[in-house]
Amino acid sequence: MLIAIDGPAGAGKGTVARTIANALQFRHVDTGAMYRAVAWLARHRGVDLADSAAVVDVARDASFELSTRVVVDGHDVTGDIRTPEMDAAAAIVARHGDVRQMLVQRQREMGRAGRVVMEGRDIGTVVFPDAPVKIYLDATPEERARRRALDPAHAAGKQGASPDQVGQIAQALAARDQSDRTRAVSPLTRADDAVYIDTTGVPIATVVETVLTLARQRLALQ
């Protein structure tokens, strides 16, 4: 009983995953928060993010609490991991194959219990290739940048972004997309058997309804 939701930043994964997890009373696991938390902890300990062996050491012993708050090794980093600096830092960490291996192992353990909605970039392709429900959410780069600029969970959204800032966010998103899509290990790509949903211009409630209907059918839930 696992629902895998993948797609680029700003496609609506977070809102959709959280809402359907609530509706189905499943656990919601945001794997992006794990990459962000490892990046935060590495920075906190003065570790060079480019040094994959050192970052693996950080990831190996880290404890994660992923609920409404994100707590790593006892540090509540909920707000601190969603800044432009941490966007870039997490993308660097996510390029290291051995760091990914370590986090994928943790994610498989979390998913094994079942009744999980897991969101990320490689859930349907690598972490749970046999997931019974796979969704790939997408939207145009412009729409994704606009959403990110309005997202109160992110630093930019909190301050209310100006049109100039939306332009900057769009550029940063494009750079991160490029990094996520072209990295050597587990690049962001749509699984062949994932249901593709373009959310551009679609109200989030409609996307949630579509995913819920599909999940209920595939998992034979009421």
Q: Are 20 and 215 in contact (CB under 8 A)?
A: yes
| CA–CA separation, 202 and 222 (whole Å) | 25
Examine residue 32 and tell whether it contacts ligand DC (CB under 6 A).
Answer: yes
Among 9, 42, 208, 215, binds ligand DC (CB under 6 A): 9
CB of 28 to ligand DC, least distance (A): 13
The residue among 36 and 147 lying less far from ligand DC, judged by its C-beta, is 36
| CA–CA separation, 167 and 80 (whole Å) | 22
The CA-atom distances, in angstroms, between 194 and each of 7, 68, 137, 215 are 11, 27, 10, 12
The residue among 96 and 215 lying less far from ligand DC, judged by its C-beta, is 96
Give the interface segment with ligand DC, choosing from 44-52, 54-62, 118-126, 164-172 (CB under 6 A): 118-126
Q: Are 137 and 12 in contact (CB under 8 A)?
A: yes
Among 2, 42, 94, 215, binds ligand DC (CB under 6 A): 94
Among 36, 144, 148, 154, binds ligand DC (CB under 6 A): 36
Which of 23, 32, 4 shows the shortest CA–CA distance to 151?
A: 32
Question: 96: which 2 tokens?
Answer: 């290291």
Give the interface segment with ligand DC, choosing from 32-40, 44-52, 56-64, 139-147 (CB under 6 A): 32-40
Question: 25: which 2 tokens?
Answer: 């009373």
| CA–CA separation, 56 and 7 (whole Å) | 25
The residue among 82 and 208 lying less far from ligand DC, judged by its C-beta, is 82
Examine residue 176 and tell whether it contacts ligand DC (CB under 6 A).
Answer: yes
The residue among 143 and 180 lying less far from ligand DC, judged by its C-beta, is 180
Q: Which amino acid is at 120?
A: G
| CA–CA separation, 202 and 197 (whole Å) | 10
The residue among 16 and 90 lying less far from ligand DC, judged by its C-beta, is 90
Which residues here bind ligand DC, judged by CB under 6 A?
9, 31-32, 35-36, 90-91, 94, 120-122, 176, 180
